[in-house]
Chains A and B, each alone.
Chain A
Amino acid sequence: MKRAALVVGLAVLAAVPLWIGSSYYINVATQILFYAIFALAVNILAGYAGLVSLGHAGLFGIAAYTGAKLMTAGHGHAVVAAGTVVMTVAAAAVFAVLALRGTGLSFVMITVALGQIVWGVAYRWISLTNGDNGITISGRPAPLGLALTSPRAFYWATFVVFLVAVGSMAIFVASPFGASVRGTRDQPRRMNALGYHVWMIRFLAFLLSGFWTGVAGLLYLYYHQFVSPQAVALAASAEALLMVISGGTATLLGPITGAALVVVMKNVASAYIERWNFVLGAIFVAIVVFMPEGLVPGSVRMWRWATAAWRSGRARRARLA
């Protein structure tokens, strides 16, 4: 039953370009997929390891900028992809060494500061990053001779990467390593007493998160064929975190749902109002105040509460009548 649902779900997702005609919506679907990869990467830390990072847009941006620099330097796509991922994982290692000096709040603050450093470089180091104007690249790669220039082709390519990402996450969650990461979140002291190297487990989790952030950043670059400091801003980190939290942390489907929600809302909202950041902030506040467990579980709870209230109200009216 569960397997059948999975197969149907995958078939529907794979066929998205076929049943959605307009390339605008195919592009929205593509964005959902690579943001879902990004959200899954953030979820490794925020969900499973209990380390909330508000600097992941920094890593995302390092990936996009590295890819853009390598491409404008005239390298082939194999070099671009490999170089980008290696660079992002290396940056993640540096981030991890510094941020893991603290846990909890100090981890959050250090990641904010690290993310802002990357933003500062992207925005101010004009000779390297072209400042606010950003870097434009020309052309997407053609793996195995398949051109990815059309929205459909790029959707399918992203979908394949997305499947690999989700598969690797499923393996990670089920693996002993995944269990030890959750252990360091719930019982760091006990894990330490049991002989686990808590710091090393967190460090490796950070690297894994950095790897998928790098992949997502590269897809972002190929999708937009452009990168600017906006991709690195604190708001981008917050958005990624919102995807994770709105869908539900430490679940596999949560960040994917959250990415879909945020991307759709962002596209819909920007069609009607220009104040996306206000909406983003308001959603944050609303989620935290009213639905601390996440949008999806929270809505379910609110719905149950509302229907229960309605039913009991009707029963009372029936009694009075």
Chain B
Amino acid sequence: MSLWLLLAVNSITLGGLLFLLSAGFSLIFGLMRIPNLTHGSFFMLGAYLATSLIARGLDFWTAAVLAGLLVAGLGGIVERLILRRLAGAELAQVLVTLGLSFMIADVCLMVWTGDPIRIDTPGALRGATAVAGLGFPTYRLAVSVIAAIFAAALWLLLDRTRLGAMIRAGVDDADMARVVGIRVSRLFTVVFCLGAWLAGFAGVIGGPILSVYPGLDQEMLPLALVVVILGGSGSLLGSLVGSLVVGFLYNFGQAMFPELAYVVLFLPMLLVLVVRPQGLFGRQTV
């Protein structure tokens, strides 16, 4: 019984991390039609940067925010200098982002070597918390709470603010949004940086659970892809539901069929593709 509960908590935690990762991916894809294959690298790079920042004596949370900002800066540079020139050329964007992801992975290997690095759990959140008579790892609960807060904040941002309205207009119809005077180009940079920040930040707070190692990027990227295919691109709710589905499938799959956990993940994606190609919460596009 408590084993299943623990698995459920782990699933929600992983789902939360995936949400932070894929919300940005989904927004970038929905708004800019850019399949950002560097997104997994942003996740890994954020985690690696944080290990160095923590080694310099920064505390965990400052390092997480700062590493996210550094990754966001890199994202902004990539968007402004490279992706901007390739607007509309989707294949070129796929290739450039893929090429960049290889470069980032190799640079990480060079700087931080091939050994896995563990990020220590922040002191206050070590140990277990008793909820309803059962002990749960405090840090995992905290990550779930953080993800929930971000989900709410992102929803408020998209649904209640002027910026959010502009982003939604851009997702729906970028040309029309331009016509009514929205500076879609600046919006692109903002969204790309925001997405990169979320990915980098998720990498850091995922660090105490997953630790950081070469290949983490290639492992997270397909998960983000699955979430977006499942949930539909450009939809925040889709990202949330997709992330939780993937989180649950991964943890329960690993407990029940350890060798096939990675494959079990892709089954719902295949099912959705067959039944509803635009994703659960995606809108039909031409």
Contact = CB atoms under 8 A, between A and B. Distances in A.
Interface of A: 52, 54, 98, 101-102, 104-106, 108-110, 112-114, 116-117, 120-121, 123-128, 233-235, 238, 241, 245, 275, 277-278, 280-285, 287-289, 292
B96 A233 contact: no
A288 B85 CA distance: 10
A284 B98 contact: yes
Given A106-B277, A233-B218, A288 B96 contact: yes
B226 interface: yes
Contact of B90 (A104, A116, A287): A104
A105 B95 CA distance: 12
Contact of B103 (A120, A128, A281): A281
Given A101-B273, A104-B90, A238-B98, A124 B35 contact: no
29 contacts: A52-B94, A101-B273, A101-B274, A105-B33, A105-B90, A105-B94, A110-B229, A110-B273, A113-B225, A117-B266, A124-B261, A124-B263, A126-B259, A235-B102, A277-B105, A277-B106, A280-B99, A280-B102, A281-B100, A281-B101, A282-B103, A283-B99, A284-B96, A285-B103, A287-B95, A288-B95, A289-B85, A289-B86, A292-B92
A113 B90 contact: no
Contacts of B37: 112
A110 B228 CA distance: 11
Contacts of A280: 99, 102
Interface string B266-277: 100110011001
Contacts of B107: 278
B245 to A, nearest CB: 15
B210 to A, nearest CB: 16
B89 interface: yes
A124 B225 contact: no
A109 B99 contact: no
B112 interface: no
Residue of B82, B98, B110 ringed by the most chain A CB atoms within 10 A: B98
B225 A112 contact: yes
A283 B98 CA distance: 11
Contacts of A287: 95
Contacts of A241: 95
B273 to A, nearest CB: 5
Contact-residue bracket for chain B: 35 or more
A278 B95 contact: no
Given A127-B259, A289-B96, A113 B266 contact: yes
A110 B226 CA distance: 9
A105 B99 CA distance: 17
Contact of A52 (B85, B91, B105, B266): B91
Interface string B35-49: 101000000000000
A285 B277 contact: no
Given A101-B277, A108-B94, A126-B259, A288 B102 contact: no
B274 A278 contact: no
A292 B229 contact: no
Given A101-B277, A125-B259, A278-B102, A285 B82 contact: yes
B116 interface: no
A321 to B, nearest CB: 39
B122 interface: no
A234 B218 contact: yes
B222 interface: yes
A106 to B, nearest CB: 7
A309 to B, nearest CB: 22
A74 B33 CA distance: 50
B142 interface: no
B99 A288 contact: yes
B259 A284 contact: no
Given A238-B102, A284-B96, A105 B82 contact: no
B80 to A, nearest CB: 13
Nearest to B29: A105
Contact of B35 (A109, A120, A283): A109
Nearest to B277: A101
A245 B222 contact: no
Nearest to A233: B218
A249 B273 CA distance: 28
Contacts of A233: 218
A282 B33 contact: no
B182 to A, nearest CB: 23
B35 A108 contact: yes
Contacts of A117: 262-263, 266
